[in-house]
Amino acid sequence: MGSFKLSLLAVLLVAVAAAVAGDELRTFIVHVHPHESHVFGTADDRTAWYRTFLPEDGRLVHSYHHVASGFAARLTERELDALSVMPGFVAAAPNQVYRLLTTHTPQFLGLDLPQAGRNYTSGFGEGVIIGVLDSGVYPFHPSFSGDGMPPPPAKWKGRCDFNASACNNKLIGARSFESDPSPLDTDGHGTHTSSTAAGAVVTGAQVLGQGSGTASGMAPRAHVAMYKVCGDECSTADILAGIDAAVGDGCDVLSMSLGAPTMPFYRDGIAIGTFGAVEKGVFVSMAAGNDGPGDSTLSNDAPWMLTVAASTMDRLIVAQVRLGNGATFDGESVYQPNISTTVTYPLVYAGASATPDANFCGDGSLDGFDVRGKIVLCDRGNGVPRLNKSAEVKRAGGFGMIMANQFADGYSTIADAHVLPASHVSYDAGVSIKEYINSTANPVAQIIFKGTVLGTSPAPAITSFSSRGPSVQNPGILKPDITGPGVSVLAAWLFQVGPPSAPVFPPRPTFNFESGTSMSTPHLSGIAALIKSKHPDWSPAAIKSAIMTTADPTDKSGKPIVNEQHEPANLFATGAGQVNPDRAIDPGLVYDIAPADYVGFLCGLYTSQEVSVIARRAVDCSRTTVIPERMLNYPSISLTLPATTNPTAPVVVSRAVKNVGEAEAVYYPRVNLPGTVQVKVAPSSLRFTAANQVQNFTVSVWRGQSTDAKFVQGSLQWVSDRHTVRSPVSISFA
């Protein structure tokens, strides 16, 4: 943790120095060519060479290895001048607004897309069925086109409750389990999530001209089955019915972007239903929740689920606020009308109204407050949806809106399709804007639209709404498990969004930007389908292990992933880190868990009767081998050290790993934890001589140097010449 703080301090000092010198850090694309005698053995070698051009660590945003020889980096103009005289430099260009590629997340995660209409015979999730439990689906969107798709596997037993022409080899099933018998989506949520998981390739995607490019789900060759379990509300009964049907129909993966306050698993219908699904070999991806950033706010935390947090990507839909004093602040908004960049408008803070809580711009809160023709500063939150705030400003006659974060939301901004010119800015920007308003008798402002900007940083970063651990129900299991893109995600939608005055585009498929762990969850569902397609015999636990142990704990520049305050995020926010689909396909080792092990784990938490509810059969815990939380063969490690630890009696964790990589391989342990704990891993190496061979090891932990910290976190890695198998480790102090 100390190195993280020092790294952050160094970056801040450099930023201050650059500002004093009159230089601003910007993103540049730098093209470089190595000398012909300079041969790179691996992509990492090339990246290391790229870094030699940079003034310090943490500046690299992207490394290019196939389509360009060079990199993207954050530099000042002066640093770029110095770099330009170095051997190998060719050219540089500033980061600009491009309308190239949308959902953008496949590329951000390192996935290549198949070409539209091309008939692939394998890969991209082929042969896998993803069951999505949500608000239904709009089957006529081209994201659900069956062109070029093979028929579903012979095991498929589901049905389509649309007319015969609506379903096809992509959308193979659609059923409803709530009051509306039609599986048609009237909300948009289910259409968005299902297309994110496995939508077909669609060219010409955009939202009000932003994010233009080619849209695709994570697993564009996988099949989709929709189970509509949500209408005006989502009930446990409907959800459980949907899970039951999906398992019976033959789904391989369940994607569920829904949740409720956490409760004991034996009282949680979703936990019960998904336990049955996993027992039958079905992988389950679940949303961690949108109640962050407070501690222990997550739900869907059973160990048989993959619990998914939400993070940003390296794309912003920039709407810049410029004040009368010349200060500028980059924010976000999707609706970007063509307005003058020279005209300023009066600026007022909604909090100046006499109406209680008017600063949050709720419905009717601006009555009696003169905002006509003005830009209104509103505060985020207080239960008022973001789009409702801009609607209230428009209703009251305002010209535009600036929505400022509260402190808890920090730097987390979201691109929404507002109904008037708007910009969502950070907490710090909001403070500065309020100070400006109070400093002058006639404050004015502009909103200047800059479109879609790629290559932004830091990315990924944990967003403020993403729910956090530790888990209330099982603190011995580190949750969430993983993070994926969940902010301003572009995917299929039912209709064009934005105000009636929005520009009219030629008829084309409609998309929308949405944010939430609802959006990150189907990313992981699709990635699970990619792994299942490649390794059809792997268990849900093995797939989860592959996803977690290959995740990236750092952002695109190589720095630790940060949270909404731009401080290093802890494991209760990131889980194992940002999913890395390419590495997850070939993890080297996996931590597997048999369904019977979950029963032993549950017997350590609950009574026999309570466990029997979850297991759907009579369980006598007195005759069952109880598995303490820390001893479940989970891909992460979470334990608590007592106030004093006897050196001869440390806290011991045991694990078993299965070799799914090269038949002959040797792995060595590497522990990354601070000196406040002492750790011993035994044996000192794991030697494998055959595929699917299982080896056991133990991790012994004692207290080390004195500390006032409540917990320390780090990792245990098993490293071979081809693989790094990383387990996040969290150690709490009693």
Please report the pLDDT score of residue 10 as a whole number.
38
3-state helix, strand, coil in the chain (%, to 5): 25, 25, 50
pLDDT digits (tens, 9 = 90+) for 671-692: 999 988 999 999 999 999 999 9
pLDDT digits (tens, 9 = 90+) for 423-465: 999 999 999 999 999 999 999 999 999 999 999 999 999 999 9
Q: Helices 595-603 and 608-615: crossing angle, nearest 10°?
A: 150
Angle at 203 between CA 161 and CA 337, to 5 degrees: 105
Please say if the pLDDT value at position 121 is more than 60: no
At 423, which helix (H) or strand (E)? strand 422-425
Bridge partners (DSSP) listed for residue 562: 461, 568
Q: Which residue has the tokens 């409907």?
A: 238
- Nearest Cα residue to 660 out of 696, 697, 690: 690
Phi, psi dihedral angles at 11 (to 5 degrees):
-65, -40
Gap between the Cα atoms of 677 and 149, Å rounded: 53
H helix intervals, 416-465: 427-439
CB contact set of 521 (below 8 Å; sequence gap of 6+): 193, 255, 256, 257, 285, 286, 287, 308, 484, 486
Gap between the Cα atoms of 524 and 581, Å rounded: 9
Gap between the Cα atoms of 471 and 517, Å rounded: 17
Please say if the pLDDT value at position 257 is more than 50: yes
Gap between the Cα atoms of 253 and 153, Å rounded: 14
CA distances (Å), 445 to each of 321, 325, 560, in order? 7, 9, 36
pTM of the model: 0.84
**How far separated are the first and last CA of the chain, in Å rounded?**
19
b/e map 656-674, b = 16+ CB within 10 Å:
ebbbbbeeebebebebebb
- Nearest Cα residue to 144 out of 164, 167, 113: 167
Gap between the Cα atoms of 229 and 288, Å rounded: 18
DSSP string across 26-52: EEEEEEE---TT---SSHHHHHHHHHT
Count of CB atoms situated within 10 Å of the CB of 95: 17
The tokens of 645 are what? 């630890």
The whole-chain average pLDDT of the chain stands at 90
Q: Is 427 helix (H, G, I), strand (E, B) or coil?
A: helix
The tokens of 386 are what? 């973001």
Distance of CA 557 to the CA centre of its chain: 17
Gap between the Cα atoms of 681 and 653, Å rounded: 10
- Nearest Cα residue to 402 out of 429, 384, 439: 429
Bridge partners (DSSP) listed for residue 62: 72
By the 10 Å C-beta count (0-12 exposed, 13-18 middle, 19+ buried), 52 is classed as exposed
Q: How many residues does the chain have?
A: 734
pLDDT digits (tens, 9 = 90+) for 19-29: 444 378 887 86
Computed on alpha carbons and rounded to an integer, the radius of gyration of the chain in Å comes to 26
Phi, psi dihedral angles at 390 (to 5 degrees):
-70, -35
Q: Are 665 and 659 in contact (CB under 8 A)?
A: yes
Gap between the Cα atoms of 465 and 310, Å rounded: 8
pLDDT digits (tens, 9 = 90+) for 44-81: 898 899 889 998 888 887 666 643 567 778 899 999 99
Q: Are 178 and 229 in contact (CB under 8 A)?
A: yes
Residues that are catalytic: 134, 189, 518
Please say if the pLDDT value at position 103 is more than 90: no
Please say if the pLDDT value at position 6 is more than 80: no
Mean pLDDT over 179-183 rounds to 91
Share of the chain above pLDDT 70, in %: 91
Gap between the Cα atoms of 298 and 41, Å rounded: 43
Mean pLDDT over 611-639 rounds to 93
pLDDT digits (tens, 9 = 90+) for 279-296: 999 999 999 999 999 999
